[in-house]
């Protein structure tokens, strides 16, 4: 299985966005994770469409948008036009997950369905055949730099088990509190897309931190 690193831009130095995106892209990082928050679905506001549109001109990485907004179906086309390649929406944020999945597919982006820590995997079971990615939150969404919730590992295992049993093709993305110390646990559980915000952009040596993650991810591919 191919593993991917998706550093979260939430922890970037916003006075050096272009420069720091180039650092990770040059280090071989394939994805950039874009945390969009509306101050309603989560108690925080981050950035949105114009920022994504702006950085699209400077980066060839895969844009992995994580929408923490209510009724995400309202803005799918705009995020796609701004440059999102993958659009993750929260199942808790919409009354119509089926419609949301259809809308993302129509836009041409890959579809990711996302669950908060208190949402059981069973809630998204009916949609798994139709998505390209499942995003498992290992912190309460809203802020970077929180502590990893190890009790979410069983959800990752369940999703990996269903994937194998039913030959589903989704990637399993894990987001929140991932560090070089605990990343092996989530890979062991079956995740293959790793988000890391503070553990990459929060470090003095951003390229070094990204490369250390990439090496571990590669090591797991050959196992
Ligand atoms: C939280 C965001 C995460 C967060 C990750 O709502 O979805 O992507 O920025 O940051 P770290 O890796 O610092 O927990
Ligand atoms: Zn995120």
Closest ligand 1 atom to 178 CA: 12
Token digits for 123? Answer: 């809630």
**204: Cα within 13 Å, side-chain hemisphere:** 0
Distance from residue 199's CA to the centre of ligand 2 (Å): 13
Coil, helix or strand at residue 75: coil
Distance from residue 34's CA to the centre of ligand 2 (Å): 7
Closest CA to 134 of 94, 77, 193: 193
- Which residues lie with the beta carbon below 6 Å from any ligand 1 atom? 8, 10-11, 33, 35, 66, 139, 141-146, 175-178, 195-199
Mean pLDDT of the chain: 98
Using one digit for the tens of pLDDT, what is the confidence trace for 166-176? 999 999 999 99
Distance in Å from the first CA to the final CA of the chain: 10
pLDDT (average), residues 112-116: 99
Q: Are 185 and 153 in contact (CB under 8 A)?
A: yes
CA 195 – CA 188 distance, rounded (Å): 15
189 φ/ψ angles, rounded to the nearest 5 degrees: -75, -20
Using one digit for the tens of pLDDT, what is the confidence trace for 122-162? 999 999 999 999 999 999 999 999 999 999 999 999 999 99
Judged by its nearest atom, the ligand closest to the C-alpha of residue 7 is 1
Closest ligand 1 atom to 176 CA: 14
Token digits for 179? Answer: 């560090």
Q: What is the pTM of this model?
A: 0.98
Distance from residue 209's CA to the centre of ligand 1 (Å): 16
Of all protein residues, whose CA lies closest to atom 6 belonging to ligand 1?
141
pLDDT at residue 223, rounded to an integer = 77
Token digits for 176? Answer: 């929140």
Give 63's strand partners.
32
């Amino acid at each position: 299985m191919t593993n991917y690193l998706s550093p979260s831009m939430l922890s970037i130095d916003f006075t050096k966005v272009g420069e720091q995106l180039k650092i990770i892209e040059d280090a071989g990082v394939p994805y950039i994770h874009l945390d969009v928050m509306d101050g309603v679905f989560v108690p925080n506001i981050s950035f949105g469409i114009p920022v994504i549109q702006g950085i699209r001109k400077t980066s060839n990485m895969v844009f992995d948008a994580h929408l923490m907004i209510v009724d995400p179906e309202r803005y799918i086309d705009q995020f796609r036009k701004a440059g999102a390649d993958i659009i993750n929406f929260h199942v808790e944020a919409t009354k119509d997950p089926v419609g949301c999945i259809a809308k993302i597919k129509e836009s041409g982006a890959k579809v990711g369905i996302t669950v908060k820590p208190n949402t059981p995997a069973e809630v998204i079971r009916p949609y798994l055949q139709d998505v390209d990615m499942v995003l498992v939150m290992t912190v309460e969404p809203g802020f970077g730099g929180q502590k990893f919730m190890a009790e979410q590992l069983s959800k990752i295992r369940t999703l990996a088990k269903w994937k194998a049993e039913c030959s589903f093709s989704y990637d399993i993305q894990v987001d929140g509190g991932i560090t070089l110390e605990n990343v092996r646990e989530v890979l062991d559980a079956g995740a293959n897309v790793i988000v890391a915000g503070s553990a990459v952009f929060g470090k003095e040596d951003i390229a070094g931190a990204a490369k250390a993650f990439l090496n571990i991810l590669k090591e797991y591919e050959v196992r």
